[in-house]
A and B are shown apart, each in its own frame.
Chain A
């Protein structure tokens, strides 16, 4: 099993939103993530963005490139909603390819956020090799 964990200060995300605006959101989040987060009032919106950034970083730790492997864009890890209403991860492009190359099954995610901090943990199980 692989695990990644990340902790984010909500104020740092709020500052990035204020300083860089659309350059920050367009670079880090998918349009669906932006729509969900931005629908909340400002303090809660920053918490939601922070939790999703934490999830992306936690997933990138699970998918951590070894050696000279290229890095992964933040938008290639998307936080979406599972059928049960909880958070889920959808991998795109190079992130999906990396997970497949590592033999990982679906990545699981849990988020938490409050006024000051947001955090996320991501786990993945390596699938048995098929003969």
Chain B
């Protein structure tokens, strides 16, 4: 999953540095991701993982790092799987 997330960041996050130079826990906002870019990242994540982030998760920290994004995707994917069980 992390490589897929990193590719989405390459395509949409508009970072000031190459994604490959960032560790999974590094702050993406400090690396140059703007609020507008985070919307693009969110929409691309929803497309790629077939999930939808609820409004309650639309916080800065949800998309602040690769680790945070992975946790968020797993949370919404798990919630969707539970709803369909």
| Chain A contact residues, CB within 8 Å of chain B | 6, 8-9, 12-13, 15-16, 19-20, 23-24, 27-28, 50, 53, 57, 65, 70-74, 76, 94
Contact = CB atoms under 8 A, between A and B. Distances in A.
Contacts of B62: 71
B55 A76 contact: yes
A74 B36 CA distance: 11
Contacts of A6: 35
Given A53-B36, A71-B59, A74-B39, 17 more contacts: A8-B34, A8-B36, A12-B14, A12-B34, A16-B39, A16-B40, A16-B43, A53-B39, A65-B59, A70-B56, A70-B57, A71-B56, A71-B57, A72-B55, A72-B58, A94-B55, A94-B56
A70 B59 contact: yes
B37 interface: yes
Contacts of A74: 39, 58
Contacts of B37: 12
Report whether over half of chain B's contact residues are helix, strand or loop; otherwise say mixed.
helix
Contacts of A15: 40
Nearest to B62: A71
Interface residues on B, range: 10 to 19
Nearest to B55: A73
B55 A24 contact: no
Interface string B43-83: 10001000000011111001000000000000000000000
A36 to B, nearest CB: 19
A78 B57 CA distance: 19
